[in-house]
Amino acid sequence: MNIRKIVTIVEEVLLEGGRAVDPAARVAVVATVIENPWAGQGFVENLGPGIDATASDIGKLLAARVVAALGATPEAYGKAAIVGLNGEIEHGSGLIHTLKFGDHFRKAANATTLLPAVEKRAPAGTVFDIPLKHITDATIRSHHQSFEARIPDAPHADEIVIALAAAAQGRPQQRLASLSSEQ
């Protein structure tokens, strides 16, 4: 795995809807820009060897860093893969939609739910929204949120941006009734 860079973003919302948010609503994203393991190979029928060689290492690296950057116990989480223009969406999906990748974050966050995801092929500097959901119950509405990210110089055509996001709470000032109130 060839890593070109790692980017960490931490946001703290202190005011929402004209009211103070106390404690501040905190979200962290850690993204790594890697060389696409299938770059220059044409169509690769079996992605398994590249997934085996890469996914777990990326998951381990990002999970530890995003929890540390958050500085709190994660309550919501999500993931992203943005593939450069010479790659396939399946390359990013292959790396993030495997237990080899996701279980590192689940263990670090004491989570049980599936990680919500976004994946797409795009040029450098594209904006992507990472969806987040509650770590143990994906039906908890307060934790349904997204975080917008952008790395100005990535991904290059033969790269993939892989990112994890964690939130220490639900949306600031959330006040929707629980899903059970509508059933």
pLDDT computed for residue 22 by the predictor = 94
pTM of the model: 0.95
| pLDDT tens-place string over residues 140-164 | 999 999 999 999 999 999 999 999 9
Count the domains in the chain: 1
In a domain, 179, yes or no: no
CATH of the domain at 67: 3.30.1330.110
Tokens 């904006």 belong to 127
pLDDT computed for residue 10 by the predictor = 98
Task: Kindly state the tokens that stand for 74.
Answer: 């994660």
In a domain, 180, yes or no: no
Residues in a beta bridge with 28: 10, 166
Identify whether the C-beta of residue 41 lies closer than 8 Å to the C-beta of residue 83: no
| pLDDT tens-place string over residues 8-57 | 999 999 999 999 999 999 999 999 999 999 998 999 999 999 999 999 99
pLDDT computed for residue 179 by the predictor = 73
In a domain, 7, yes or no: yes
In a domain, 106, yes or no: yes
Q: Is the pLDDT of residue 178 over 80?
A: no
pLDDT computed for residue 139 by the predictor = 87
Containing domain of residue 168, as a range?
Answer: 3-174
| pLDDT tens-place string over residues 49-95 | 999 999 999 999 999 999 999 999 999 999 999 999 999 999 999 99
In a domain, 57, yes or no: yes
In a domain, 182, yes or no: no
